[in-house]
Amino acid sequence: MFGTIVTLLAGVVFGLALAAPPGPMNAIIAEESVVRGWGAGFRAGLGAMSADVLFFGLTLAGVVAVVDRYPTITPMLYLVGGLLMLYFARGAVADARSADAFTAGNHGTSTGFRKTFVLSLTNPYQIGFWLTVGVGLLESGRLDVLSYVPLAGDALEEVLVVQTGSPSLLLGFFAGIAVWIVVYPAALAAAGRRVDAVAPIIAAGSALVLAGFGAVFLAMGATGLV
């Protein structure tokens, strides 16, 4: 029983470690949260999580591995994902200009779920995760949970190692993502209510993050096709 609880908590930590770092998904969640309210931010997070659930199902069926067999698919995904990020960055710029203050969810129609879901489906990093670590989660073995934390993984190696192939680990993993998409938008929405300037600043920051990742993805896609 104790071992199951430890594995479950390790899965939660793993899910949080992967969901929390800055990136295009969190940029969209942040923009939706401060401009349209917690509900919009949560739905944006739910879009990314839904894609992970879909990838999980495809991994079980062995479909995701098809991407690994055709090298030209990956650069094409980079190009499509990069273009989408630049397009969404343009929308974030418009939000930054019009969001003079927190709007409590009344600033236009939320499209965050569609944005993050589509971006996730064209994100080579997310697909690569399910081709490698995701497959490992399903098979019996061991997982160095904190080694996958961006930028700090090397320093955290061997700190938290658990057995894979456990339903408890998978349940904890998705629970960790769920915790993030609830708490992160709530914190941003609360900040937006207290400080009016937060909304346009975060929307502008989201636009910069999306534009930056979009440019990098386009460059990687073009390089991969040469």
Q: Is the pLDDT of residue 104 over 50?
A: no
Read off the pLDDT of residues 119-132 as tens digits, 9 standing for 90 and up: 999 888 888 888 87
Place of tokens 């989408």: 84
Inter-residue contact 8 to 172 (CB < 8 Å): yes
Domain count, the chain: 1
Read off the pLDDT of residues 174-186 as tens digits, 9 standing for 90 and up: 999 999 999 999 9
Read off the pLDDT of residues 152-196 as tens digits, 9 standing for 90 and up: 666 667 666 777 777 888 899 999 999 999 999 999 888 777 666
What is the mean predicted confidence (pLDDT) over 50-75? 82
Which is more confident, 145 or 210? 210
162: DSSP letter: E
Residue 217 lies in a domain: yes
Inter-residue contact 78 to 217 (CB < 8 Å): yes
Maximum C-alpha span of the chain: 54
Q: pLDDT over 70 for what percent of the chain? A: 81
Domain with 134 in it: 24-139+174-225
Inter-residue contact 122 to 84 (CB < 8 Å): yes
- For 148, phi and psi rounded to 5 degrees? -95, 0
Residue 163 lies in a domain: no
Check residue 136 and give its pLDDT.
75
Residue 149 lies in a domain: no
Check residue 105 and give its pLDDT.
45
Spatial distance between the Cα atoms of 147 and 82, rounded to a whole number of angstroms: 27
148: DSSP letter: G
What is the mean predicted confidence (pLDDT) over 27-31? 91
Spatial distance between the Cα atoms of 152 and 97, rounded to a whole number of angstroms: 35
Residue 167 lies in a domain: no
Q: Taken in order 174, 150, 201, 194, is the CA torsion positive or negative?
A: positive
Q: pLDDT over 90 for what percent of the chain? A: 23
Q: What is the DSSP string of 95-164?
A: HHHH-SS--TT-SS---HHHHHHHHHHT-HHHHHHHHTHHHHHHSSEEEEGGGGSTTTTGGGTTSSEEEE
E-only strand ranges, 45-151: 141-144
Residue 5 lies in a domain: no
Spatial distance between the Cα atoms of 175 and 188, rounded to a whole number of angstroms: 20
Q: Is the pLDDT of residue 17 over 60?
A: yes
Residue 9 lies in a domain: no
Residue 161 lies in a domain: no
E-only strand ranges, the chain: 141-144, 161-164
Which is more confident, 67 or 13? 13
Residue 67 lies in a domain: yes
Place of tokens 């800055």: 22
